[in-house]
Amino acid sequence: MTTERHYSPVDRLLLQADAALRTLLPFSGQPYRPSPGLTQPDVELNADDTRHVAGLMRVNHTGEVCAQALYQGQALTAKLPHVRKAMEHAAEEEIDHLAWCEQRIRELGSHPSILNPVFYGLSFGVGAVAGLISDKVSLGFVAATEDQVCKHLDDHLTQIPVEDEKSRAILEQMLSDEAQHSASALDAGGYRFPRPVKFGMSLLSKVMTKSTYRI
C-alpha cells in the first residue's frame, strides 16, 4: 500500500524553483517521448524559410514555457489534491513539447526567446491567482489557454513549408496533445470561459507571438 507524500510550503516553493530552472535553462527538460521529428528526413531549407520556421518554433517554445509556468502556478494554489495532481501531470506532458521545440530551434541554427523568463513569471502569477480563485476557474483557464494554443498551431501548420516534415510532425503531435488537455480540463469540471474573456486572452497571446517571433 502506497501513501501520498505531503510537502511543506517550503518544499513546494523549492520544487517550483526547480521546475522554473528546468524550464528556462537550455536543454534542462528531458522529454518523456522522443521527438516526432526524429523519424522525418533532413531537408535543407532556404535562408528565408529557415528564418521563418525558426521564428514560428520560437513562438511555440515560448508558449510551452508559459504552459509550464501556468500549470506550476496552478498546482501551487490548487485546493483539491486530484486537481493539483492533474496540473502536475499536465506540466510533465508539456515538457515533451518544450524539449521538442528547443531541439528543432537549435537544428535551424537559432535560439529560444530571451523574453522567456518574463513570460514565465507572468504566466506563473496568472496560474497561481486562478488556483486561488477556485479549482473550477483554474481548470477552465487551462481549457481556454489550450484552445488558444491549438489555434496558433493550426495557423503555423499552414505556414510551414511542405518539405519541412520535421517541424510539421512536431506541431501535429503538439496539436493532438493540446486538444486532449483542453478536453480533459473541461471533463474534470473546468469552467467554460465566455467569449469576451477568450477574446482578451487572444489579444494577450498576440503580444507574446509578435514579440517572441524575432527576439
CATH number at residue 145: 1.20.1260.10
Q: Report pLDDT for 2.
A: 42
Residues of the chain with pLDDT under 50: 1-4
- Cell matching residue 82: 486530484
For residue 18, what are the contacts with CB-CB under 8 A and spacing of at least 6? none
Residues making up the annotated binding site for Fe cation are 64, 94, 97, 146, 178, 181
Distance CA 33, CA 27 (A): 15
Asked if the structure places residue 36 within a domain, the reply is no
- Cell matching residue 81: 489534491
Are 70 and 120 a contacting pair, CB within 8 Å?
no
Asked if the structure places residue 32 within a domain, the reply is no
Residues making up the annotated binding site are 64, 94, 97, 146, 178, 181
Q: Report pLDDT for 79.
A: 65
Asked if the structure places residue 111 within a domain, the reply is yes
Distance CA 158, CA 202 (A): 19
Q: Report pLDDT for 3.
A: 45
Provide the domain limits for residue 205: 9-21+45-212
80: left (phi over 0), alpha (psi -120 to 50) or beta: beta
Distance CA 195, CA 27 (A): 37
